[in-house]
Amino acid sequence: MNQFSFPTTILHGQGAMKELAERITEKNILVVTDPGLVKAGVVEQALDTLKGSNTEFSIFDGVHPNPIEEDVEKGSDFYHEKDCDGIMAIGGGSAMDVAKTIRFFNNHSAPLAQYSVLENGGTKIADTLPKMYAVPTTAGTGSEVGRGAVITMRDTGRKTLFVAPPLMPSIAVLEPTLTVGLPPHLTAATGIDAFTHCLESYFAPVYHPMADGVALEGIRLCLNHLNSAVNNGSNLEARAQMQMAASMGAVAFQKDLGMVHSLAHPLSARHGTHHGLANALMLPDSMAFIERADLDEKQKHRIKIVRSLFNEAGRSGESLANETRTWFQELGIKFGLQHHNIPAEDLDNLSKEAFADPCHATNIIPVTQDDLAGVYKQAL
């Protein structure tokens, strides 16, 4: 017996924010974002389109690039202080993750850690949460349609996952004009994050043909539109297609992910590496490890299907390791962990944390801690 869910309402394309204004009914919405977006005027731009909603917006911009437990606690206090009755996340995956976690923590008892997947905490999150509107300004995490959030906890210093169906946003708003100001390097990193979600979810050995179809189309969209979004940030068609690819990646990875994410998470938790960049740095060497393995026919077939999508996009599909490295370099990614302040002496610690990360449990092939350490060394 299998269960599948694709319930999120998605407003996609130019005019999506104006449509949202017609649907908001709350009196005072907590806006969760980061100081950079406030300074850049993106938050003001987004809220200007919602003036007709007759709703007040209380802005909490205390979100770190890699969210920490304190962000959630302060945001929850702010929610109560301003007497809010709804939540809106404006930003990337960090804002989304903090907003989702505030959403349940504001009416659930402390400590936060008891609700993590490590404590089987999803069952403790009641389905009595305020509405949440997710407005991404990047096209990468797809968190706007996901039921999970990742927060770095103070006691462990590790990224910790919170997952429960009630965390899924009420409405996701994919307005491409809000992503136009995203710099090329962040457009590339977030786009690679979307691609990685699609790729790893398709490879995951879990029965979910619906997610497989979504993942493959997401891969195709990334191959066809990411370069245009990076090279011409005002290309609204490319921006809109990458927003859709990001959402599709998050829909697909309810099927689960793989070793790339297990390798990437400690880079962010220990060294503050942007998550999309961390995925980019680890993906080609992970693909090389996978392509060298003794694969069965089903595994070979899945790799063959992805290679065919590279062929359709005018790229060589003979080696996903080589082709992804070449593609990412075109997008401005500089390879070598040492070029991103990741010291060789930390590889042992990184390997331990990567192996403790649950994502690799659904890798296309099983991996050991030594395997992960070997990929880190190749990527150094």
State whether 169 and 89 are in the same domain: yes
Could you say which of 118, 144, 178 is where a domain stops? 178
pLDDT digits (tens, 9 = 90+) for 118-130: 889 999 998 889 9
Residue 235 predicted with pLDDT over 80: yes
Model pLDDT for residues 293-350, shown as the tens digit of each residue: 999 999 999 999 999 999 999 998 889 999 999 999 999 999 999 999 999 999 999 9
Whether 4 is covered by a domain: the verdict is no
Q: Of 142, 158, 178, at which residue does a domain stop? A: 178
Per the model's pLDDT, the better-predicted residue between 224 and 93 turns out to be: 224
Rounded distance between C-alpha atoms, residue 249 and residue 243, angstroms: 10
CA–CA gap between residue 365 and residue 260 (Å, rounded): 12
In total, how many domains does the chain have? 2
Please check whether residue 31 lies inside any domain of the structure. yes
pTM: 0.89
What's the domain range around 49?
9-178
Look at residue 1 and tell me if it is in a domain. no
In a domain, 3, yes or no: no
Match 């770190």 to its residue by tokens.
64
My answer on whether 220 and 332 are in the same domain is yes
**210-225 tens-digit pLDDT:** 999 999 999 999 999 9
Task: Average the pLDDT over 82-100 and give the result.
Answer: 95
> What is the pLDDT, as a whole number, of residue 4?
64
Q: Residue 252 is part of a domain; what is its CATH number? A: 1.20.1090.10
Q: Phi-psi region for residue 157, left (φ > 0), alpha (ψ -120 to 50) or beta?
A: left
Tens-digit pLDDT profile for residues 154-212: 988 888 889 999 999 999 999 999 999 889 999 999 999 999 999 999 999 999 999 99
Give the position of tokens 């809106």. 88
Domain of 138, CATH number, reads 3.40.50.1970
Whether 139 and 200 share a structural domain: no
